[in-house]
Amino acid sequence: MKFQAVLESLRYPIWQAPTASLAGPELAAAVSKAGGMGSMALTWTPPDIAAELVRQVREATANPFFVNFALAFPPVSLDAALEVGVLIVTFSWGDPEPHLPKVKAAGAFVGIQVTNIPGVKRAIDQGADFLICQGVEAGGHVQSSTPLLQLLPRVIEAAGKVPVIAAGGMSSGADIAKVLALGAKGAILGTRFLATQESRAHPEYKRQLVEAQGATALTVCFDGAWPYSAHRVLRNSTLETWEAHGCPKVGNRPGEGETIAQTADGEAIFRYEDTAPKQGYVGDIEAMCLYSGTGVAAITDIPPAGELVERLWQECSAALAPG
Ligand X SMILES: Cc1cc2nc3c(=O)[nH]c(=O)nc-3n(C[C@H](O)[C@H](O)[C@H](O)COP(=O)(O)O)c2cc1C
By beta-carbon proximity to ligand X, the closer residue of 5 and 156 is 156
Binder of ligand X out of 45, 63, 77, 92 (CB under 6 A): 92
20 near ligand X (CB under 6 A): yes
Print the binding letters for residues 197-216 with ligand X: x by CB under 6 A, - otherwise.
--------------------
Question: Looking at beta carbons only, is 161 or 226 nearer to ligand X?
Answer: 226
β-bridge partners, 130: 111
Sites for ligand X among residues 295-314 (CB under 6 A): 295
Question: In the stretch 152-171, what mask flags binding to ligand X with x, by CB under 6 A?
Answer: ---------------xxxx-
Told to check if 133 binds ligand X by CB under 6 A, we report: no
Which residue pairs from 116-121 have beta carbons closer than 8 angstroms and sit at least 24 positions apart in sequence?
116/146, 116/151, 117/154, 117/155, 117/158, 120/155, 120/158, 120/159, 121/158
Residue in 16, 32, 43, 236 binding ligand X, rule: CB under 6 A:
43
Comparing CA positions, the residue from 180, 130, 161, 151 lying closest to residue 313 is 180
- CA distances, 285 to each of 180, 200, 202, 224, 282 (Å): 36, 14, 8, 17, 7
| Cβ–Cβ under 8 Å, residues 140 and 217 | no
Closest separation in Å from C-beta 248 to ligand X: 25
**Residue 139 binding ligand X, by CB under 6 A:** yes
Instruction: Please report whether residue 110 would count as binding ligand X according to CB under 6 A.
Output: no
Instruction: Judge residue 118's burial from the number of C-beta atoms within 10 Å of its C-beta, 0-12 exposed, 13-18 middle, 19 or more buried.
Output: exposed
Report the nearest approach of ligand X to the CB of residue 185 (Å).
16
Closest contact distance (angstroms) between CB of 189 and ligand X is 5
Which lies closer to ligand X via its Cβ, residue 5 or residue 220? 220
Binding piece for ligand X, criterion CB under 6 A, among 12-20, 219-227, 247-255, 305-313: 12-20
Q: Which of 134, 146, 172, 196 binds ligand X (CB under 6 A)?
A: 134
The answer to whether 223 touches 269, Cβ cutoff 8 Å, is: no
Please count the residues of this chain forming the interface with ligand X, following the rule CB under 6 A.
28
Q: In this complex, which beta carbon is closest to ligand X, that of residue 26 or of residue 137?
A: 137
Spell out the long-range contacts of 82-91 with Cβ–Cβ below 8 A and sequence spacing 24 or more. 82/106, 82/108, 83/51, 84/51, 84/54, 84/55, 84/58, 86/54, 87/6, 88/6, 88/64, 90/18, 90/39, 90/66, 90/132
Closest to ligand X by CB, 63 or 172: 172
In angstroms, the Cα distances linking 11 to 5, 8, 70, 280, 309 are 12, 8, 27, 34, 10
Shortest separation between residue 143's beta carbon and ligand X, angstroms: 8
Q: Which stretch binds ligand X (CB under 6 A): 4-12, 19-27, 153-161, 315-323?
A: 19-27
Q: Is 41 a residue that touches ligand X (CB under 6 A)? A: yes
Can you list the positions of beta strands (E) in the chain?
14-16, 38-41, 65-70, 88-92, 109-114, 130-134, 140-141, 164-167, 186-189, 216-219, 231-234, 259-262, 268-270, 282-283
The answer to whether 25 contacts ligand X (rule: CB under 6 A) is: no
Least Å from the CB of residue 144 to ligand X: 8
Residues that bind ligand X (CB under 6 A): 17-20, 22, 41, 43, 68, 70, 92, 134, 137-140, 167-170, 188-192, 276, 291, 293, 295
